[in-house]
Structure 1
């Protein structure tokens, strides 16, 4: 009887405690997409001149490397253009001190993880080749990887270091010498772009390419972006590519969302990995990258 009494006392106490507990809703877990957007915004705000210890160049740990890509094109967006003949692939670089959130051409594409993580889990290590403070029209032949001299200026558009251009003042003088201010003739953009020299991607040279922008003062208003060149990588290796997110420009609205979803589905089908879609805000008053669960392809949303 004593054993039975203790048993029923245990049941009564257990039920009593359970009845006094208030039902609670578990906290909403932060999605991976929120974490990615937060990391992108943090790198955008990180304006260090070099990574820890002074090496390597800043793009290894700060800023955001972006590639415009036609997400619904006849070839997969993660591949270099099949008809490219120059062995270089163009990216844009976003950072607060670069002074621009604008992109050329397409208004959707993908974002790379920081360069210091490219080799993780057997990932393909992209080879950064050069940095242009401004658009350099690298779709036209510009020597190896799009970093060399243009056909229009075969001598004066050689890499900056070869010409002894190692200060911001020297770059500005060189950049404006073919279309001097304040005249700004109608073909000023093309002439300056093709006359522009490229900087290297060592710590000093890459920082100089950012400083040479001078907040975009030298830039044609309709062409406000910084251009970096990466060596062409092999076709059809999506699972090895260090892709962090897919983006669309906010001004595209619903059309941009649908384009981004095509890319998200395509990448997930090819790799089994879902990368988040983030919206790129052009308004400098708000953080540049924003994640919304509603932007994701419905069948790929977190559950």
Structure 2
């Protein structure tokens, strides 16, 4: 994954085009933004197409995106963040905690890595495009590390990936452990040992470092992280995983790679509508709302539905 983000940026600056398509619904997602040269580019998808794209990625269970340096989250699965609706702040802005430690918590969801609820039992939020599908002109937000289950990351430095203050050393990033934790089996052994010793598993846990700088180690580490989560089932189903993304600047909605707003239950619709209205007010762009009820058993799967009546047009 070394220099991947740089290569993608150079590709965008060289003027690579985004494909556009149409569908049966009337609401379009216009991802056009002004580039540094003042030229606008556009990639238009209908709400139905967005729902279809999300479902395809949810069901795409590949191990990597074509190379050891390209972890699966670059092209498959959903990178999503839940939030609390408020007129006092915008959901896409990093919180004060995120601004301090440099990382924003998301969750990674896929048909082979399910979870039954969002963090803090939120019922609405937003989804980022995977990096390899980021529309031209949008920010490429680096993914820093992955905790297979909640890692109490808000209290951790270095993007929320490093040691927790309550358990120094033993909670450092997995590759910094002694001995190194580089497989799912080793991660699970530590997870269980921490629990047996009466430690907080979330605070004593180590994360898998998947930064761009780790290059060929990235895909394997993320894969082992997902395998580790599966091995502690149903813990990683009942409690959301924690994927840390590098914190971005405040108040740049037009530059963020937001693919959709979503809600997971009826009580979340009003929140998703608030996000949609506010985003359109600030950017002039309408991002669709997608209904994504999460599975409540491991045998179930998430579903993805675009409803015209949910949209605030």
| C-alpha displacement of 1:53 | 4.3
Unaligned runs of 5+ in 2: 1-22, 27-45, 211-217
Among 7, 21, 24, the alignment partner of 1:29 is 24
Change (3 A) 1:157 1:193: same
Larger radius of gyration, structure 1 or 2?
1
Following TM superposition, the consecutive aligned residue runs of length 4 or more in structure 1 with deviations greater than 6 angstroms are none
Deviations 1:72-98 (A, max 9, x none): 241111110135421110001101111
Take 2:300 and 2:194, find their aligned partners in 1: how far apart are those partners? 35
- Pick from 112, 135, 143: which aligns with 2:128? 112
Cα distance in 1 for residues equivalent to 2:141 and 2:170: 28
Paired with 1:58 and 1:83, the residues of 2 have a C-alpha distance of 28
Contact 1:216/1:224 (8 A) holds in 2:
no
Moved more, 69-78 or 55-64: 69-78
2:207 aligned with 1:195: no
**Counterpart in the other structure of 1:76:** 90
Q: Which position in structure 2 is the counterpart of 1:13?
A: none
Provide the TM-score with structure 1 as the length reference. 0.80
Partner of 1:278: 290
- Deviation of 1:176 (Å): 1.3
CA distance in 2, matches of 1:211, 1:243: 28
1:1-303 equivalent positions in 2, closer than 5 A: 29-30=24-25, 32-84=46-98, 85-105=100-120, 106-118=122-134, 120-139=135-154, 141-163=155-177, 164-180=180-196, 191-201=200-210, 202-214=218-230, 216-217=232-233, 219=235, 223-250=238-265, 253=266, 255-283=267-295, 285=300, 287-297=302-312, 300=313
Unaligned runs of 5+ in 1: 1-27
Task: Give the paired residue count.
Answer: 258
- Aligned to 1:266, the other structure's residue is in SS state helix
| RMSD (CA atoms) | 2.0
Q: CA deviation at 1:218?
A: 6.2
